[in-house]
Amino acid sequence: MKPFVAEHIANINPYPPGKPIEELEREYGISGSIKLASNENPLGPSPKAVEAILGATSKLHRYPDGSGFYLRKKLAQKYDLPFDSILLGNGSNEIIELVIRAFMSPGDEVMMPSPSFLLYRLVVQWMGGRPVPVPLKADLGIDLEKMARAVSDKTRVIFLTNPNNPTGKVIAKADFEAFLAALPEQVTVVLDEAYIEFSTSADTPRGFDYLGGRGPAVIALRTFSKAYGLAGLRIGFGAMDPEIAGFLNRVRQPFNTGSLAQIAALAALDDEDFFDRTRRITWSGLQFLYREVEKMGLEYVPTEANFFLIDVACESKAVYEAMLRRGVIIRSMASYGLERHIRVSVGLPEENARFIGTLKEVLGQIAAGRQGKPLSSGAPQ
């Protein structure tokens, strides 16, 4: 067999899929491990969403509503936006893909901060474009001035992650507005707000305030995967000028979001108690984690999201591996170019406490030079 594959596809480094937790536990002979690696909701899914799903299973023989009518209507009402400005996606990830498919041609450039969410770069590569990663500033903030200078007549899309993943940092409103004003009109700006519900900053842009204004088009991406606890269902949405939504609709699969995902998202929007508890447990968890990390004498990056970076002052890969062996799954940021940083998601209080206890143990052992042989294989992403 000698299948033809385009060079730009053959050259891609695939997104590394993680192993299921159960498989990992079997492999390492551990049990009761905790996953603080993917910025998921530690409270589980919204109970109202679960109830709605259970009530909807008898309709599973029907195709979903391809227009996502009720969910879009509710979102439009909630955020005071035109109905036609809302587009649903199979996770906000899918909307990232639709944007690139609609607005980028092979050979065009797409810019993103580096490090930020890995998917932007991958999607651009899938479709034969040229990713232009722009390094963060020394303080790990997004370098909007450098990004504005890097715009060329081939730039079609710019991704801004706010708060950024993996840093948890937000962009200041005035900086964002100056950035927009400096851009040519052919550029579409995607403000990825996957974690915006966790931000307490009054001085950071909310994408919904910038749709359809003068200057470059702005698309705001939101997800039900984090604050609403529905990552496994794959549902997110974008808000944008209706004309832009019309273009994305042309490259969207007719039934891109499932019926259970739509129903669960609708119910989750009504679950204010769950949403409030999610934010409260995240903010109180962060206060605990900051305090404990400070006591250990480590530096960290204050966050506006539900995860944060810790400088472990040694090789973060070794810390990740030793923590994994003790059943605490976090992320090493080495593959993002941050060799000494780990990223940890805020968990339940007992999970946060276990993380701190394990980190102390592991760093103590590393300092004492008693570290065993490093493990090699991957953890869930």
> Contact residues for ligand PLP (CB under 6 A)?
39, 91-93, 117, 161, 165, 192, 194, 223, 225, 231, 236
Q: Which is nearer to ligand PLP, 162 or 316 (CB)?
A: 162
Q: Which residue has 């041609």 as its token pair?
A: 105
Q: Which is nearer to ligand PLP, 24 or 196 (CB)?
A: 196
Distance CA 164, CA 308 (A): 10
Q: Which is nearer to ligand PLP, 129 or 236 (CB)?
A: 236
Distance CA 87, CA 104 (A): 19
Residue with the shortest CB distance to ligand PLP: 91
Q: Do the beta carbons of residue 307 and residue 290 sit within 8 Å?
A: no
Residues ≥6 apart with Cβ < 8 Å to 186:
153, 155, 156, 216
CB of 223 to ligand PLP, least distance (A): 3
CB of 238 to ligand PLP, least distance (A): 10
CB of 131 to ligand PLP, least distance (A): 15
Q: Which is nearer to ligand PLP, 93 or 352 (CB)?
A: 93
Residues ≥6 apart with Cβ < 8 Å to 92:
192, 194, 221, 222, 223, 225, 236, 237, 238
CB of 236 to ligand PLP, least distance (A): 4
Count of CB atoms situated within 10 Å of the CB of 243:
11
Cα dihedral 227/229/90/12 (nearest 10): 80
Q: How big is the chain by its Cα radius of gyration, in Å?
A: 21
CB of 166 to ligand PLP, least distance (A): 8
Residues ≥6 apart with Cβ < 8 Å to 356:
289, 292, 293, 296
CB of 24 to ligand PLP, least distance (A): 19
CB of 371 to ligand PLP, least distance (A): 30
Among 230, 169, 195, 196, residue whose Cα is nearest residue 41: 230
Residue 254: burial class (beta carbons within 10 Å; 0-12, 13-18, 19+):
exposed
Question: Helices (DSSP H) in the chain: which residue ranges?
Answer: 7-10, 21-28, 47-54, 69-79, 92-103, 119-126, 144-149, 173-182, 242-250, 259-270, 272-295, 316-325, 349-367
Q: Which is nearer to ligand PLP, 55 or 232 (CB)?
A: 232
Q: Which is nearer to ligand PLP, 18 or 215 (CB)?
A: 18
- How far from 140 is each of 166, 171, 300, CA to CA, in Å? 10, 11, 11
DSSP string for 4-37: ---HHHHT-----PPPPHHHHHHHHT--S-EE-S
CB of 265 to ligand PLP, least distance (A): 11
Q: Which is nearer to ligand PLP, 165 or 332 (CB)?
A: 165
CB of 94 to ligand PLP, least distance (A): 7
Q: Which is nearer to ligand PLP, 221 or 322 (CB)?
A: 221
Q: Which is nearer to ligand PLP, 94 or 109 (CB)?
A: 94
